[in-house]
Every structure is written in C-alpha cells, then in structure tokens.
Structure 1
Amino acid sequence: MVDISARKVLVGMVAGALLSSAFSTQAAEDERTYRLMSGQGTPVMSGTGDCVITPQSPNIPNLNAKECGDKLQSTQCPHLYIYPGTATLVVENLTPEQKSKGVDEKGCPLDTDRDTVPDFMDLCPTNTSAEISAGVWGDAKNPPQEQGDKIGCPIDSDHDGVPDYRDKCPGTPRGTSVDADGCPAVSGKTVEILGGDVTFAFNKADLTAQGKATLDKIAANIIKDIDYVYDVHVTGHTDSVGSEKYNQTLSERRAKSAADYLISKGVPANKVIMKGEGELKPIADNKTAEGRAKNRRVEIEIRTTHAK
C-alpha cells in the first residue's frame, strides 16, 4: 500500500527543486540583462551576446562602458558642433556619405582645421588659427544668421567677401563692390582744379568770392551723390617762387581752407582728406609766368563707387 503522505512530500520536493532552478535561471538572466537597459529603462535581451547598442541615456548603468566598451552606448564627439541641432554629435547617426569624408579612431568625423565644424559640412576646412579665433559660421558661438552664411567659413557679416576679422569697412551696403580690405572699391573719379590766383587772396589762404562760388557748386554735386562718394581729396600746390618750406606751408593752408569750406557746406568731414604738396608736383613750366600761374592751384579729387 502506497503511503499518500510520502508521495506528497516527494512531489513537493521535486516541484520545489524545479521552481528553485527556474528562479536561479531568471536571476541569472536578470543579472545579465541588467546591463542591457534601453533608453526607457526597459531590459533588453540580446541574442548575439551580452552587449547591444542602446541609446545614450541616464538609465544605462555606468558599468556598461567598462564591460562592453562603446557597444552599449552611442559614441559622442563633444569636440564637434553640428548646426542646426545639438552640440553633441552622435557617431551612430552619421550617414555613409558623411562618414566618407573621414573619421578618426573613435568614429568621430574628421575636423582638419579644428574649428569644431566637421569636415563633411565644413565649406572652409583649412581655416587658419587667426580665422578660427575670430569665429566661423556654424561653431558653438556663431550659428548662421541667414542664407549665404557659409558653414565653417570665417564670419562675414556684411557678405562683401571679406571676413570680419580683416574687414576695415564693416557694414558695407549689400551689392557694393569692395577692395581687398572690404572697403568700397573706387570705380571713378572727378578732378576739379581751382586756380590759386582767383580762388585765394594773393599769397594767402583766404578764399575769394569767386573761390567760394566755385566750392559751393562742387559741394552741391558731392552731397547730391553722397551715397556713392568714397572720399574727397583736397590738395594744395604752389609754384617754385620762394622757399620750399614756405611753399609747403602755404599749400597746406590753402588745402585746409578749401576743405573746411566744403565741410561747412555739408560734405561729411570723414570723407574729406586734405594735404599740401608745396612746389613738388607742377603741371606747367615754372620758368614762365603762365606756367607758374597754372601751378598755383588746389585740386579736388572726388572718388566714387558703384553698386554691382
């Protein structure tokens, strides 16, 4: 006769052993999957090993990086900046085309000039240290402001083709032709010659009535086209009679007298440049009275620019 109570004990022992084995197996799985959390904190099972690629997340235990290297979390390149978007570049998000521009041993895109803009989007990948220190479009501090701002290139706020760090005339109006310094390029000039004998009192820098009338017309023409006037050079000249020092001083005084008058009539002072040449640049023979009269003069050169 079979002892029923003994059978119950035996069945209980077997069931307990099986249950214990199941719990042990689950515990082992839990131990293994603990390090395979997804970005939402949900355990992830891997059929190919203990390490899988998961998004960078605070839910991923720090142990991952040590035991599984960069397989468990996305490789980031904090030294590179991507615009628009985030300052953190994630290697796993790179396209094959972007990777084709070159990557380093960590898989991060190359940045040849170290301006923080990766080569695959850098339109100026060989900037100098001076250009980088002045700022480039698309780095962490200088997001592009408008269409035409070239990513990775030195900042050129007025879009005249001359970067800000060496632009001597920032804020040039759009469409203005500029020179190598970023200043409006001179496209034309007009030279007015005022005879010294009719413009000034004899051997003085005082303007005559005729001299003032002539300067009134010149000032009006300058002001009318002031947006296209680059600068106005007022230069005094003399004949060779008298000492060189005296003639130099007289030419400077006459140039200043004419320049001051133009400014008083509304010509911007910052556009007027004055100087005296004394007897150094004659335009006629100083051996004749007629030639000397021509050499006693003030020249006003008006240089202008034009839009492209």
Structure 2
Amino acid sequence: MLNRFSRKILIGIIAGTLWSTAMTSLLADNEERETYFLLNSEGNPVLTTREGECVQTPNTPNTPPKSFKECGSIGDRDGDGIPDDEDMCPDNTPEEISKGVYQDGPKKGCPIDTDNDGVPDYRDDCPNNTPLEISKGVDDRGCPLDSDGDGVPDYRDKCPGTPRDLKVDEDGCPISKGETTPDLVLVAEGDVLFDFDKYNLKPNGQRLLEGMLGKIDPSHTASIKVVGHTDPVGTDSYNMQLSNRRATTVANYFKSRIRDKDITAEGRGEKELVERLPGELQKAWHQRCRRVEVKIWEYQKK
C-alpha cells in the first residue's frame, strides 16, 4: 500500500509540449514505485477536480531536465499576493510591497506608482503629483525638480537658473530692490567715449565700455540706467539732446552684450555739473563735466 507523500510534488516546465514527471513514492515494504504528473502545452500542471491534486499518468515516464514548480500550488515567494508565474516582479522586498502592488496589467506584481512619475509609492514623498507637476521631472524621492534650489519647482519657475544667494518671488524670479541708491556707479569721461560734439563711440570708447562690462555680473543685475552729462557750454536744449544721444549709444552697446535686462538711457545735459575743484582750470573742469554714468541696481540677496 502506498504511503502518502509528506511534501508537495515538484514538476518541471517545458513549453509547447504535453508531458509528465516522475516522483518516487515509498511503499510499506520499502519498494519504490514512480508516479507521473501531467503538464499541459504551456508547462502548467493539469489539476483534478480536487484542489491541489494533479492528474497522474503512471505510464508516461518523461523526466524534466530543469525548472521546477510545486504541483498544484504555484508559489508566491515575495508574499505580495500575486502567484510567481504571473508576477512581473516576483522578488519584491517587504518595503517594496508596503504600499501595494499592481493586481493586473503589464506591471502585475510590481510596486504601485500612483502618479506615474517613475518613482514607486513606497519611496515616493510626493505620490500624488499631477501631470503638470511631473512635466519637468522629479527627483529620486518623487517630488518635482527644483534645479536652482530657490524653493519654486521647475514646472512653475519662470526664471530657472537663478543664483542661490538671491531672493525670489512666487514665480521663482529674482526680486529687484526698486528705486533705491544704486549698488554700483561706473563713470566714463565723455571725451574718451566720443569725439567733440559727436555721439558715436570712438574705438577707445568701446574698449572702455568693455572694461565696465567686466565689472557687471548679469546674473545679479536687476537694472542699469545710463545717464549722459555735458559741460555748461552751449544752450540747455542742445546739451540735453546731445547728452541723451550719448547715453542712448552707451545703453544700446550694453544691450547688445547683456541680454534680457532692464537697460535705460537718460540725458541730463548741464543740470548736474560736477563740483569745480579749488584752483581747477575751466578746461579741466568742463572735461570732467562731460561724462557718462552707468548706474547699476542688483537683486535682493537672501
């Protein structure tokens, strides 16, 4: 009489064939007898009407080479509730299944990613992102990227790449200081920049402006105002016009070198003459009066 098996029968898998595998059973008198179990064309065990029992084929002694499964009881080695033969991620850790796994579809048995940002929920600090919030990417914790670290995520940052030492508004843009005292004032003598009674830059004037540009940090600059001045010789209206044209020339040069900045020009004529020094010759004083001032306002810093 056959003894009952004390463990589950293991059977092999060979796709596309119908075959069976042998399991040696022990008789009461220590004789051996082989019993075979039938597999279908997909390599799955053919079960009887009783749960967990396989169809026996004692006259079909085919032996599988490799790859065994438990007959009548497909395993679930990671304990996620999805049988291994259906589990696309059969070796999940307890942490990976802590927020649940997909119950069907191409990711069946894999950790759920509710917002489809590429970061599974079990390690996603922002698991319910909207499509807009993930449109510019997420970090390794599943939260919207903030590339410049200004506290405004990239998907709504209108000024990406802002230096980290600057204050920003709700749109992620640096905040101007407003109409305050300029942070920097650069002064160039008019005679170096322009010929007499002219407003076209001289070659030496261009080199001087290049030197000024080297002292300006565009990433920290909010606005620039170029102010032109003349000496007191000539009519007020003429001097006002000349100073405005010279200021505009310098402002346009700066605009060609510094993009996307608020750069304006203003002519003051002879309204703001420099103070004449004691004993200073009139010619030298007039030369100092003919000048262009470049006033620079920076963004607010943290």
Q: What TM-score results when the alignment is normalised by the length of structure 2?
A: 0.46
Higher helix proportion, which one? 1
Q: What TM-score results when the alignment is normalised by the length of structure 1?
A: 0.45
Higher strand proportion, which one? 2
